[in-house]
């Protein structure tokens, strides 16, 4: 038996998860600007995931073990925050950004009926891989001198994000980092499902 499934996820604005791990494993120790950004900005995201469920047991639709190929569209937002950048002068920089990811994967799960229209759904594991792209923008409260622009460009180009390609743009009003690269994820969980 085969069925269609649609799930969604919303995460309201909050501090970035695993902030300390990111600081230790991804960032350069002396990159105070990026550390300041991580400490101050809030992040939110949402995702929509349609999928096809193929039930492997004899009980049919909505019962037992299934495999489910799926596609996920996710949007991540870095809410604006103001950070300080020290160069020839002290600049206040308003930072914001967005990232969009498209992934596909295969979920292994099992489902049990708890009533006429409610069931218990166990997502055992659902690895996914795909790609993502986005940008982070910083707007300065005053014009950056040519020397400061060169210094900021070198500073930002020194950031090494795993599995991402970065392109840095610096101008008199601030900077932008465009990001593209691989994106991976894992779905797992226990949930109550409504059946139609």
- Confidence band for 139, pLDDT divided at 50, 70 and 90: very high
Across the beta sheet with 90-113, the strand order is 2-14, 43-55, 64-86, 90-113, 118-140, 174-194, 164-171
- Among 129, 12, 125, which Cα is nearest to 72's? 129
Pairing status of strand 90-113 against strand 118-140? antiparallel
Mean of pLDDT values over 88-95: 86
Regarding pTM above 0.85, the answer is no
Mean of pLDDT values over 113-129: 91
Say which residue, 58 or 65, is predicted with more confidence.
65
d(CA 196, CA 190): 19
Q: Among positive and negative, which fits the CA dihedral 150, 151, 154, 156?
A: negative
Output phi, psi for 162, to 5 deg: -60, 140
């Amino acid at each position: 038996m085969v069925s269609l499934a649609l799930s969604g996820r919303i995460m309201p604005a909050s501090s970035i998860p695993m902030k300390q791990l990111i600081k230790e494993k991804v960032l350069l120790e002396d990159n105070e600007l990026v550390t300041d950004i991580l400490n101050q900005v809030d992040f939110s995201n949402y995702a929509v995931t349609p999928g096809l469920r193929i039930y492997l047991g004899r009980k049919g639709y909505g019962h037992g073990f299934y495999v489910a190929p799926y596609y996920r569209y996710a949007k991540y937002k870095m809410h604006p925050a103001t950070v300080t950048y020290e160069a020839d002068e002290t600049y206040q920089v308003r930072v914001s950004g967005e990232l969009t990811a498209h992934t596909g994967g295969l979920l292994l799960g099992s489902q049990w009926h708890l009533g006429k229209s409610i069931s218990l759904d166990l997502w055992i594991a659902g690895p996914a891989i795909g790609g993502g792209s986005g940008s982070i923008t910083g707007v300065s409260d005053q014009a950056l001198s040519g020397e400061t622009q060169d210094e900021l460009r070198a500073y930002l180009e020194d950031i090494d994000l795993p599995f991402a390609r970065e392109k840095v743009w610096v101008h008199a009003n601030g900077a932008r980092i465009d990001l593209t690269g691989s994106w991976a994820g894992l779905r797992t969980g226990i949930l109550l499902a409504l059946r139609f």
